[in-house]
Structure 1
Amino acid sequence: MYKVFMNEKKLTLSKYPEDFEKKLRYEGFATLEIAVDLLQNTSCPEINVYGEEIEEMWEDFTHMFKVIEAAGGVVSNKEGKLLFIRRIGRWDLPKGKIEKGESLEQAALREVEEETGLKELILEEFLNNTFHLYTERNGDKILKTTYWFRMRYVGNETPIPQTEEGISEVAWKDQEAVTAEVLPQTFQNIKLILNDFWLQH
């Protein structure tokens, strides 16, 4: 199953129909175009496209967009708190585009270090990936895939926000603060990856 977000609306591609208000049986490329159009141009909050050949469906879907890959981390410290960045009034996790020649792991570590100023990071395992759609200023439609890794911070430095990237704050949050402060002011993708993190903890 693939979950793709666009402006906080959700498109789920699955093998069998999900319990959604709006469902479309996959009948080729046009079905995907209709689904994206409905999400973009109507008030419909979520759509399910379903079909037996899910990998073929996903391949068709990725061909509709320019694919950009990014990597980031869910970082915990010695007290078990998680590291968040604040950008444009929303809480987020540190992440960024993978540069040419970098592995996913190298990109994830570099981006966390750049966005938070923290260096003593230990990369543990791959958590999952998330997908979201957006349109660039030049009109290009982008499918952004972000690969997330579990990381541990073993140093004692104070995190420093990378202000040139629009980050206004970096903060460690315990589970209570995550529930009270982060979840009401973050993105659906981030909620998904935090859920994966806690399920595997």
Structure 2
Amino acid sequence: MTNLKRISIAGFTVLIMLFTLTGRTEEKNSIMDMLGKGSDKDIPIKITSDRMEAYNKKDLIIFYDNVKAIRSDTTLLADRMDIYLNQKDKKIEKIVALGNVRINQEDKNATAEKATYFDNTQEILLEGSPQVWQKGNVLKGNSISMHLNEDRIIVNSADVQIKPKSMKNAPGMGKSKKETGNKESDSEEGAL
């Protein structure tokens, strides 16, 4: 069998195996939804890259350069993606995205240098200056661990910025000194 046919078969096999990623059937409403939880577990993932290598004996598939994975309304971009398969049933055991990792879903975003998804524990670990943001709310840390089954996030060295929903309508907020007649500054800057 030629190498091109092997790569085509391996690529098709990857698409079939990616169908098996597990998820929960809940409405998407949190930042963790973009990274694997949701009702779209049966929706295929399309992966494109400049190059792909499949190692059947190692149960490993590697995508190199300009990696783009799309599933439903979620897009993951990275320099490299390694997919580790279980030796027994060839299902996904772990996915590691490396280098300039960006995850986008509607108004939710995440960046890191490394993102690791563990299928058996339904955990996503973001490392390397990770940050997650949505509608002005920002979460940063040394590492961000998202436990999808538990709807729980663990952040080491947490740095959180929460944007109030309506600062302009809050009493004394968002108005200049002229509008309020107040001598103290009531501007939005520093109002957090």
Q: TM-score range by the shorter chain?
A: under 0.3
Query: Quick check: which has more Rg, 1 or 2?
Result: 2
User: Which structure is higher in helix share?
Assistant: 1
> TM-score under structure 2 normalisation?
0.25
